[in-house]
Every structure is written in C-alpha cells, then in structure tokens.
Amino acid sequence: MCGIVGYIGKSPAKPILLEGLKRMEYRGYDSAGIAVIQDSNAKTCKKAGKLGELASVLQDKELRGSVGIGHTRWATHGVPNDVNAHPHTDCKNEIYVIHNGIIENFQSLKERLHKAGHTFVTETDTEVLVHLIEEHMKTKKALEVAVQGALREVVGTYGVAVVSTLDPEKIVAARLGSPLMLGIIGKGEFIVASDATAILPHTREVVYLEEREILTVTPKGYTIKTLGNKSVKRESNRIEWDTTQAEKNGYPHFMLKEIMEQPEVI
C-alpha cells in the first residue's frame, strides 16, 4: 500500500503533487504517476522507478491545471513498469483513478467488463475500477455517484482518488481498509492524501475519512457520504504533530513503527 495525493485549488497542481509524493517516499514504492486536468483534457505521466524519473519527464511538460492526482505504487498485481503505474484510465481517457490496496474480485469484474466491450491495457487489479466507473458514468451524471456505484460492486481494500474531464472541477476519494484524509488549505483549496506527511506542509486542518465513506471535493467545499448514501457531517481536526512525528505515525521510533505495522504482529 503506497501513496495517494490529490490537489484542487488555484495553484498549478503539478509541483504540489510531486512534493506530496516526495514526502511519502519513505513508505517505499516501485513506480509513480500523476494526472492533471487542464482545459477539459487530462495530461498524465507515469514512470517506473524513482520519483526523479517522473520529475525529469514532467520538467518538459507544460502543466498549468489546478486539479490533479498523484500516486506512488507498490505493485501487487502486474509487474512494476510504466504502463502498470497509476493513474489508470477508461476506454475514452475521460476518467483517472489512483488506488492503494487490492481489488479481490477483479478477475470476474474484468471478464464482465470485457464482454461489455471494455479494452484493458494493464495487468493491474486497479484498472477494473476505472472501467467500472466508466460503466456507471453512462447512467449517472455526477462522478461521485458513479464512483459510489462502482465501489458497491468491489470486494477488497481501497484508498482511491478519482478525477474526470466529464466533471473537471472535482476530486472524488473513498476508502476501505486504507487510510485517506482531506487537508483544508484555505478557501477553495484542498489536498487529499493517504498520509499526513503530504498534507502538513500546506495545512494542519484535516478531515479524516472513515471506512466506506466517499468524499467529494470541489472549489466550493467538500461533502462526505457513506457507500450506502447517507450524508455525513464531519468537522475538521487540527494536527498538533510535526512532520517528523507524522512520518513515524505517532510511534517514538521508525523501527517500532515498522514492527507494529507488520500484518502478523501479535
């Protein structure tokens, strides 16, 4: 499980996403990528290897867009290469998804979507999610409704962030078994991340997303709903830790953090 970051606001998203990914680098990863919405199109860049590889390709790309998502991947399904790196996109390149976790029923979903005419280009479990959202977008207009519909069909774990050229002023994020939080930078400016270290350089005001909740962020503000479509009212909290403490997730030492986060620890 690796890093998720999303930005929506007034500044160009690219440097904020890259900085966020850099701050989550300590978690380990094998590839990275970003998608930025710009002039009703999306620009993406994905690279296997270190963040420096991605940053150097991005250096030559003129990216002004102020809505975007970024990901560091730790491959579970599909080898670590440029194609399998996130974000993943649908058949029409209109929807972009980054995902931490594992979609356990991806094989059956993939077969169904394949029969419905979807073309898959990666070996990842994550790609089914974006095609599933594409299916739901055919009948639902709002991105968050399509994401909600898609996630109801998913078995597994996820921290996801989604952007779309069909609904360009928006980031939709959701979680189950993988952390996700919203940082409120200021009026009309927000950062979404799986790790507080990516948020703390911008703000200490955060809203923690709970299991099976979907967050919709636009320049006007944010709303939270459950997967079951109940509205959730949640105020922000103030993070009192500093970045070094956040990197240790509250543990006094990195080694202790590593030990305590082993899945088999008793």
Beta bridge partners of 171: 217
Q: For ligand GLU, which stretch binds (CB under 6 A), given 97-105, 131-139, 141-149, 208-216?
A: 97-105
Q: Which is nearer to ligand GLU, 157 or 226 (CB)?
A: 157
Position 73 contacts ligand GLU (CB under 6 A): yes
Asked if omega into 87 is within 30° of 0 (cis), the reply is: yes
Q: Which is nearer to ligand GLU, 106 or 222 (CB)?
A: 106
Q: Which is nearer to ligand GLU, 76 or 249 (CB)?
A: 76
Per-residue string for binding with ligand GLU, 116-145, x by CB under 6 A?
A: --------xxx-------------------
Cα gap 20→7, rounded to integer Å = 10
Single-letter code of the amino acid located at 163: V
- Identify the residue among 22, 43, 47, 99 touching ligand GLU (CB under 6 A): 99
- Identify the residue among 63, 74, 82, 243 touching ligand GLU (CB under 6 A): 74
- How far does Cα 244 stand from its chain's mean position? 23
- Identify the residue among 33, 101, 135, 161 touching ligand GLU (CB under 6 A): 101
Span 2-31, contacts to ligand GLU by CB under 6 A: 2
| Residue 183 burial (CB count, 10 A) | 25
CB burial of 133-167 (b: ≥16 within 10 Å; e: otherwise) equals bbbbbeebeebbbbbbbbbebbebbbbbbbbbbbb
The answer to whether 98 and 86 have CB atoms below 8 angstroms apart is yes
Instruction: Give the total of residues touching ligand GLU (CB under 6 A).
Output: 15
Cα gap 12→204, rounded to integer Å = 21
Sequence-separated (6 or more) residues with CB below 8 Å from residue 195: 3, 23, 24, 27, 179, 246
CA nearest 243: which of 195, 209, 208? 195
Position 55 contacts ligand GLU (CB under 6 A): no
Tokens encoding 65: 């867009």
- Identify the residue among 12, 19, 50, 75 touching ligand GLU (CB under 6 A): 75
Least spacing, CB of residue 198 vs ligand GLU, in Å: 15
Cα gap 128→92, rounded to integer Å = 14
Position 83 contacts ligand GLU (CB under 6 A): no
Per-residue string for binding with ligand GLU, 168-207, x by CB under 6 A?
A: ----------------------------------------
- Identify the residue among 102, 142, 166, 227 touching ligand GLU (CB under 6 A): 102
Least spacing, CB of residue 98 vs ligand GLU, in Å: 9
Binding-site ranges for ligand GLU (CB under 6 A):
1-2, 73-78, 99-102, 124-126
